[in-house]
Structure 1
Amino acid sequence: MAITFRALTDHEPGIIVRLLSDAYAFDPRYQELHGASWQDSDDFFFAHPQIADACCFVTADGDEPIGVVMWDPRQLPESVEIGHNGIVATRKGSGYGRLQLLEALARIRSLGARRIVVTTDDGLVPAQRMYESAGFVRARVRRNDDPADFVDEHLDYVLDVAQR
């Protein structure tokens, strides 16, 4: 593993959409549900490069981009919310997602956040396990009543930085 964590702006626009589309390709409903949000994130970050490089990075194996993660620091110092986070399908199950998460956590901790929060869904069991293994605690389960959304429950996780 020659893993590096690179600035988003080292890449071309569209990288967020490309990486997340691949990461969630196992179920095309994720693209249908979140594709517009992925594009909004890509557009926002490439329009605001200083924010992009402070709140997002691309994980690479050699020269190959294999993942992306981003976070929202607007509630600092109380909390930071991890947003989109994914590893391409061919690299899942190899520990890359955990390495990416741990790098994101280190960067967020350096900002002085007291809590780090993330939301996943009931269908993403590997993501749930990864967050729990990194010290996150499930704080809330929210039933999803949106008929346009195939997800049954949203799971909110919290990492209390002050206690770690």
Structure 2
Amino acid sequence: MCLIFRKISNFDRGILHRLLVDGYSFDSRWQKRFEPDWIEFDNFFFDNLGIADKSGFITTLNDEPIGHISWDPRNRPEYVAIGHNCIASRYKGNGYGKIQLQEAIHRILQDDAKKVIVTTNSRLVPAQHMYENVGFKLHQKRENKGDAAFSGEYIDYEIII
């Protein structure tokens, strides 16, 4: 296993979107609901590579992109919010998402944040376990009344640094 975390700027536009489509392919409702947001996210990072390379990276396994993670540092030093934390479907269940998250937290620590926050959904049980295993604590649960209610309630986690 040779995991390497690479700059987003080392890849072509569309890679973030493609990985999100793949990572959520277990339920087509995710893509139907969020694809415009995923495309916008991909375009924003590739239009702003300085931000992309400072606030995210792509995880590769033997030179193949298998996932990515990003974070929003604009509320630093109070907190940094994890955005997408995505692993391609065929690589899920191998601990790569946890390793990717740990690397992101390590990088965020270098940026003087007091805490890191993340939100997931109640139907994404493996994500909940991963966040808890890395040290995140449940902060609150919120009802999801939007058009993505199929994903269950929101679960907010935080880790105090």
TM-score range, shorter chain: over 0.9
Give the direction of change, closer, same or farther, for the CA distance of 1:113–1:148 in structure 2 (3 Å limit): closer
Asked if 2 retains the 8 angstrom alpha-carbon contact of 1:82 and 1:116, the reply is yes
User: 1:149 deviation in Å?
Assistant: 3.5
Alignment partners' CA distance in 2, 1:41 and 1:154: 20
Report how many residues are paired: 161
Amino acid at match of 1:91: Y
Question: Which secondary structure does the structure 2 equivalent of 1:20 belong to?
Answer: helix
After TM superposition, the runs of 4+ consecutive aligned structure 1 residues lying more than 3 A away are none
Q: Where do 5+ consecutive residues of structure 1 fail to align?
A: none
Match of 1:131 in 2: 131
Match of 1:84 in 2: 84
Amino acid at match of 2:101: L
Question: How does 1:1-164 map onto structure 2 within 5 Å?
Answer: 1-147=1-147, 149-161=149-161
Alignment partners' CA distance in 2, 1:110 and 1:61: 25
User: 1:148 deviation in Å?
Assistant: 5.3
CA RMSD of the aligned region, Å?
A: 0.9
Give the direction of change, closer, same or farther, for the CA distance of 1:24–1:112 in structure 2 (3 Å limit): same
Asked if 2 retains the 8 angstrom alpha-carbon contact of 1:33 and 1:149, the reply is no
Give the direction of change, closer, same or farther, for the CA distance of 1:122–1:12 in structure 2 (3 Å limit): same
User: 1:81 deviation in Å?
Assistant: 0.3
User: 1:147 deviation in Å?
Assistant: 4.3
TM-score (norm 2): 0.97
Amino acid at match of 1:39: I
State, as a whole percentage, how many aligned pairs show the same letter. Answer: 45
Alignment partners' CA distance in 1, 2:95 and 2:87: 10
Amino acid at match of 1:121: N
Alignment partners' CA distance in 1, 2:112 and 2:83: 18
Question: Which secondary structure does the structure 1 equivalent of 2:36 belong to?
Answer: helix
Asked if 1 retains the 8 angstrom alpha-carbon contact of 2:20 and 2:88, the reply is yes
Q: Where do 5+ consecutive residues of structure 2 fail to align?
A: none
User: 1:146 deviation in Å?
Assistant: 1.8
